[in-house]
Structure 1
Amino acid sequence: MISVAQARGRILAGLKTVSREVVPLTEGLGRVLAVSVSARLAHPPADVSAMDGYAVRAADAVAGAKLKVVGEAPAGHPFAGMVGQGETLRLFTGSHVPGGADTVLIQENAQAMPGAIIVNEAPVIGRHIRRQGQDFALGDLLIAAPKRLTARDIGLAAAANYPWLQVFRRPRVAILATGDELSLPGEPVGEGGIVNSNCAMLAAFVAACGGEAVMLPAVGDDVAAIAAAAEAARGADFLVTTGGASVGKHDLVQAGLAQHGFNLDFWKIAMRPGKPLIFGHAGEMPVLGLPGNPVSGYVCAVLFLAPALAAMAGLGEVPPVFEAARLRGSLPANDAREDYLRASLSWQEGGWAVAPFGRQDSAMLRPLAQADALLRRPPFQEALAEGAVVEVLRLVS
C-alpha cells in the first residue's frame, strides 16, 4: 500500500490540462480563467463626484460665500464648460467634475436659492472626488490566470470592458457504477438490492468542482458489460468507477478495464475509509476506481478527484487545505492507516472545535451529509485527549 500523499502525487503527475474556450462574461462564474484580464480603460474614466453636491473652487467656497450656479451635470452628461471664479456646477454621484473645479461641496453644506447657493461650511480641497484611474488604469493587470472566477471577478472584468472571457473548458468526467444490486433513485428496489446513491453524489461533486459529469448507465457484475461501458466513456477526460474495486469474487472493474489495455498505476492506499482505490489509464484516459461504499467513495473524491479536476482545469496542483482545531472528546491510538473521521465543527473561544461522530461506518450517508469536516489522523498517531490540536478538512460540497 502507498500513502495518501504518494497516491495524490501519482494521480496528478500525468494529467493533461484541458483545452480553452471563449464564454460570455455572464457565464464565467466558477470557470477557470485561461488568459489574464488587463484593463481596457481606466476606472473611473475621468474625475467623478463621490457625492451629490456642487463642483467649486476651494478658494471661492469659503463659509458664507454666494456662488452662481452655471448649470447641472447628471451622471452620463458631462458639462462642456469650465467653472470660473465665483461659479459652481450642480453635480450628482458619478458626475464628471468639470475643469476649473478642485473640490465638491456636498449638498448638505450648501443652501440652495434660485440661480445660486450659499456655502454653509467650507469644503476641503480635493474632497469627494474620485480621481481618474483611482481603481485601475488602462493596461493594469486585474485578474491573473489561472484563477477560478468569483462573482467579484466577474464584476471587475465587466468594469474593465470585457464581454467575453477565455477560460479552460470544464473537464468531462464519465461516471460508471457497477453492481448487480443497484437500482436508480425512484425505481423499485429488488430483493437484495440498493439504490445507486454514489453516481448522483459524484456527479454533484464533479459539478461543484467545476467539471462536467457524464453519467453512464450502471452495469452489473459482468466483465463484458464493464468493458463495454469503459468503451462508451472514450472521449471523456477522466473516468470514475464506483464499486468493484476490492478483492471479492464480484469485484471485476480491473478485469473489465483490462479489455481496453488498462495500465494499472496503483491499487490500495494506506487510508481509512477508501483503502481499495484503483488508479491507472485506459489508453490516454485516466481512470479512478472508487470503492462502492458511499463514504469511502466521497472521501476519496475529496482527496483525489477534486485535486485532479483542479489540475485538468488549469489550476495546477491544489492539494486539500487542512486547518487546526481543538478536539472535543478523546480518541484511541491510530493504526497503520491514515484515518479520516466524519465530524462536526463549532467555533469556540476564537478557534475551531471538532467533534468526531461516534459511528464511522463507511456505508452511512446521513452522518456524511451532516458532517462539517473530515478529521485527519496520521498513521500510528498516539491516543488523543480532550483539547488536543488536530487537523481538519472542511467540507464545502
Structure 2
Amino acid sequence: MAAVPRVAVVATGTELAAPGAALGFGRIHDSNSALLASLVAEAGGAVSESLRLPDDPAALRGWLERRHPCDLVVFAGGVSVGAHDVVRHVLAGLGTVGFARVAMQPGAPQAFGELPGGTPVFGLPGNPVSVAVSFEAFVRPAILRLLGRAETGRRTWPAVVEHGWRSPAGRRQYMPVALGRHDGRPSVRPAAAGGAASHLAAGLAAADGFAIVPEDVDEVAPGDLVEVAVTR
C-alpha cells in the first residue's frame, strides 16, 4: 500500500483572518484552510502544513524556501490576473508551473505544475465553492493516484431535476446539489438559492454532491436527468 500523501495547504490573501477572530475593516474569516484540510483527509491524504499568507511576494518566497517536506502543495487564491494575485506573480515560470483558464464553472483560473525539486503544486481560485469544485476535479484525483489507486474519479448517478437552473454555454458546470426523491427516483435541486456562484459557501454545507452539466447545455429544466457525483 502506498504511503499517505503529505499535503501542504496554503490560503493566500491579506484579507484573511483566523476563524473566530475579530474582524477589522476589509477582513474576512479564512474558510479555505479548514475546507481544504477536510477534503484532503476525505481523499486519504494528510495535511503536513496549513497556513495563511498575505498578498506579499516576499512572504510566499520565504515559505517556499523553508517549507516542510511534502508530496503535494495546494494554494487557494492568488492565481488570477489581478495586481494582488501573489501566487501567479511568484510561481509563474518557477519549475514547470503554468496558469490557465479552464472551461468550467465555477473555478476557471487554475495553476498546475512542479516546483523546483519536483513537488507537484495546484493553484486553485480563492472563492470557497471554486475551491471545493477545483479540488474535486483536479486535486482529489491526484491524491488518489499518489495512493496507488487506478480509478481516481467518483462514480456518477443519474438524478431527476426538481428545480431548474441556468448553465454557462461552453463551460462544464459543477452545481452543488441536495439529493431527494421524486416519484421513487433520486432527485436533485440546487443546494443554494444562488446556484453555483463561487462565493456561496453556505450551499456547500447543504450539498450532497455536484451535478455535472455538459458544456453544450445552457439550461437545466425540471424533469431533466443530470449526472451527479455524490460526495457524502
Q: TM-score, normalised by structure 1?
A: 0.55
State the Cα distance separating 1:385 from its structure 2 match.
2.8
Q: What runs of 5+ residues in structure 1 fail to find an aligned partner?
A: 1-33, 35-167
CA distance in 2, matches of 1:258, 1:338: 26
Partner Cα distance (1:302, 1:281) in 2: 20
- What's the RMSD between the two structures over aligned residues? 1.8
Change (3 A) 1:394 1:256: same
Q: Could you tell me which of 287, 294, 311 is aligned with 2:121? A: 287
1:358 to 193, 196, 200: 193
* Structure 2 CA distance for aligned equivalents of residues 281 and 217 of structure 1: 20
- Residue among 325, 342, 352 paired with 2:159: 325
Number of residue pairs the alignment of both structures matches: 229
Residue pair 2:211, 2:229 contacting (<8 A) in 1 also: yes
Aligned equivalent of 1:339: 173
Question: Secondary structure, in 3 states, of the residue corresponding to 1:374?
Answer: strand
Is the CA contact (8 Å cut-off) linking 1:325 and 1:354 kept in structure 2? Answer: yes
In the TM superposition, 1:51-130 aligns within 5 A as none
Give 1:303 shift: 1.4
Aligned to 1:49: none
The answer to whether the 8 Å contact 1:227/1:257 transfers is: no
CA distance in 1, matches of 2:140, 2:114: 18
- 1:133 aligned partner: none
**What does 1:362-381 align with in structure 2 at a 5 Å threshold?**
362-381=198-217
In structure 1, the residue matched to 2:53 is 219
Q: Give the aligned partner of residue 101 of structure 2.
A: 268
Instruction: Give the structure 2 partner of residue 124 of structure 1.
Output: none
Letter of the 1:343 partner, please give it. Answer: V
Structure 1 residue 313 and structure 2 residue 147: aligned?
A: yes
Per-residue CA distance 1:259-283 (angstroms, 9 max, x = gap)? 8x33224422110110011111102
Q: Could you tell me whether the CA contact under 8 Å between 1:240 and 1:289 is conserved in 2?
A: yes
Give per-residue Cα distances to partners, 1:87-116, cap 9 Å, x unaligned: xxxxxxxxxxxxxxxxxxxxxxxxxxxxxx
Where 1:227 maps in the other structure, the secondary structure is helix
Give the AA of the match of 1:310. L
User: Are the equivalent residues in 2 in contact too, given 1:327–1:354 (CA < 8 A)?
Assistant: yes
Give SS of 1:314's match: coil
Deviations 1:10-57 (A, max 9, x none): xxxxxxxxxxxxxxxxxxxxxxxx2xxxxxxxxxxxxxxxxxxxxxxx
- The Cα offsets for residues 250-303 of structure 1, whole Å up to 9 and x where unpaired, read as 0020222358x3322442211011001111110201110011101100111111
Q: Name the CA shift for 1:338/1:220 in 2 (closer, same or farther; >3 Å).
A: same
In structure 2, the partner of 1:296 is: 130
The residue number in structure 1 matching 2:78 is: 244
Query: Distance in 1 between the 2:145 and 2:49 partners?
Result: 22
Tell me, in whole angstroms, the C-alpha distance in 1 between the residues paired with 2:75 and 2:107.
Answer: 13
Q: Distance in 1 between matches of 2:218 and 2:90?
A: 41
Check conservation: 1:182, 1:218, Cα contact below 8 A.
Answer: yes
Consecutive unaligned residues in structure 2, runs of 5 or more: none
Structure 1 runs of 4+ off > 3 angstroms?
331-334
C-alpha distance in 2, partners of 1:202/1:302? Answer: 11
Which TM-score applies when normalising by structure 2? 0.92
> C-alpha separation between the residues in 2 aligned to 1:250 and 1:240?
18
Q: In the TM superposition, what is the alpha-carbon distance from 1:333 to its structure 2 partner? A: 5.8
Q: Structure 1 pair 232/379, CA: closer, same or farther in 2 (3 Å)?
A: same
Structure 1 pair 333–198 and aligned structure 2 pair: CA distance change class (3 A):
closer
Query: Larger deviation: 378-387 or 180-189?
Result: 378-387
